[in-house]
Structure 1
């Protein structure tokens, strides 16, 4: 599971409470307008992570970039809200109180449930690798590119035009993808979708892939959203990653499972020592105060 949601929550609390102060020597790692985000503020957000989570983040710098972008956007929204004294609204005061209590209890629960930094040991990691080898196997994968024509007015005419141009010049696939494909993200990469394994590909497309030779353009494949003209750029047969390739992934999984078990044990003991009591009479009266939903208007 990505660590970003927890990071953003803790960062919001730090920003709102003014606990983070950027010194003059604190490098700026991002800005939006006249708002700057400093190194110490990002480090404060990352400070809630354990060593395994930090290692996972180091393996994927895009996550860190996304965190910085999210914090900057959050700053802009916060600046505007405070300028309009949004935090002084009675309903927001109630919301802030609830959010504070929830954040404190949630972060405490995570802290008491967190496994020690030494977990899992090297032996536990290797045992997990051996027992989970089948689950770790990566299915057959395809590197795909596409030209996509959306199912809308004039689609068939456009589809025929694309097919005719491909027939005249099969080497023009990338150029046509840039110019005519209506899936903008892949179009910006000459139609390149990237690597997808068999489990990630829709059945209608997966059924056609074994019939396609490398670099040969397919006939249009109709799905609910429109037509997909595909090109298989490369194929990778199923394989099991070696231990070092999945060490961090395994450690994250084991730590998450241990944290869930610790949390369950903690909650069981807590509720044993502090039994919950609900006043059913008061609850029924409370329900009577809840407004009934409005009846739907007659057609």
Structure 2
């Protein structure tokens, strides 16, 4: 079966890209406003809004005048083609319409569940469960100089022992991407670095410089700048994340409850070969 033809991108939008973009003032939308008619069929601002919302993100951000013309062209073309179609729709089209309606209505039901207000006590409890009792983990701020051979690393260690400036040597000698920044790696926690590097950092005191450390990337001279204990984020920093999680859990619970109460009989599916779902030609 051929993939359904998509009009908007190849016909309307691409053609409209040649049009000059002009500044448009934001207007108040009235979804019932008719912008075109094809025979007796009206095309409204509402139709255009829904068409825009279904576009891939890269097209949604095109200039407003380009989008307006492109979407309207698409809807006019589709309407004209629909009106002249006098054949019998294949079963797959009717079934797809049923599935689309089912999905959209179910989506609205889920949105209604998700949008119900949350109890602040519930948010606080979730925050305490996720962050309040979490053990504080150490974080490290380190710099390094990366070279290819142990001999180079030993020579650097001697220079540093003699009073050379670590950042200056890193800018001059390091082959790693942090070299131009004086070798600074910033803050990182457990698991962020390869094991050999992490072990060296954990064995050092703040301000100390390591002996040469070998990793898969080469030879490192490491300087531990400082350490700190990672603090739990404030509630307001993670509120959006927590509330979304709570809403999703609530929605899942309600979905399971509603499905459990529904009069569902799956017995007709027993014994059906699962491969039948791939036989799209049966709908032609």
Q: TM-score, normalised by structure 2?
A: 0.50
Q: CA deviation at 1:210?
A: 4.2
Gaps of 5+ in 2: 1-6, 26-49, 63-96, 280-284
> SS of the residue aligned with 1:128?
helix
- Deviation of 1:110 (Å): 6.7
Which structure 2 residues correspond to residues 138-217 of structure 1 after superposition, within 5 A?
Answer: 138-150=136-148, 155-171=149-165, 173-184=166-177, 186-217=178-209
Residue pairs, 1:20-35, within 5 angstroms: 24-25=22-23
Q: Describe the SS at the equivalent of 1:169.
A: coil
195, 209, 218: which is aligned to 1:226? Answer: 218
Match of 1:289 in 2: none
Unaligned runs of 5+ in 1: 1-12, 28-43, 49-69, 76-100, 287-299
> Structure 2 CA distance, aligned partners of 1:205 and 1:133?
28
1:1-299 matches, within 5 Å, as: 18=13, 24-25=22-23, 113-114=110-111, 116-133=114-131, 136-150=134-148, 155-171=149-165, 173-184=166-177, 186-258=178-250, 272=264, 280=273
- Distance in 2 between residues matched to 1:142 and 1:281, nearest whole Å: 54
Q: Determine if contact 2:144/2:184 at 8 Å carries over to the other structure.
A: yes
Q: Is the 8 A contact 1:147 1:176 kept in 2?
A: yes
Alpha-carbon separation, structure 1, partners of 2:107 and 2:210: 50
In terms of fraction of residues, the more helix-rich structure is 1
Q: Cα distance 1:255–1:166, how it changes in 2: closer, same or farther (>3 A)?
A: farther
Equivalent residue of 2:181, what SS? coil
Shift in alpha-carbon separation, 1:196–1:256, aligned structure 2, 3 A: farther
Distance 1:132 1:122 in 2: 15
CA distance in 1, matches of 2:109, 2:268: 21
Q: What TM-score, normalized to structure 1?
A: 0.48
What is the Cα deviation at residue 140 of structure 1? 1.1
Is 2:147–2:175's contact at 8 Å kept on the other side of the alignment? yes
Over 3 Å counting, the alpha-carbon distance change for 1:128 and 1:144 in structure 2 is: same
Partner of 2:196, secondary structure, is helix
Contact 2:142 / 2:223 at 8 angstroms: preserved in 1? Answer: yes
Question: Structure 2 CA distance, aligned partners of 1:176 and 1:111?
Answer: 61
Distance (Å, rounded) in 1 between the aligned partners of 2:260 and 2:234: 38
Q: Give the whole-Å Cα distance in 2 for the aligned partners of 1:281 and 1:116.
A: 33
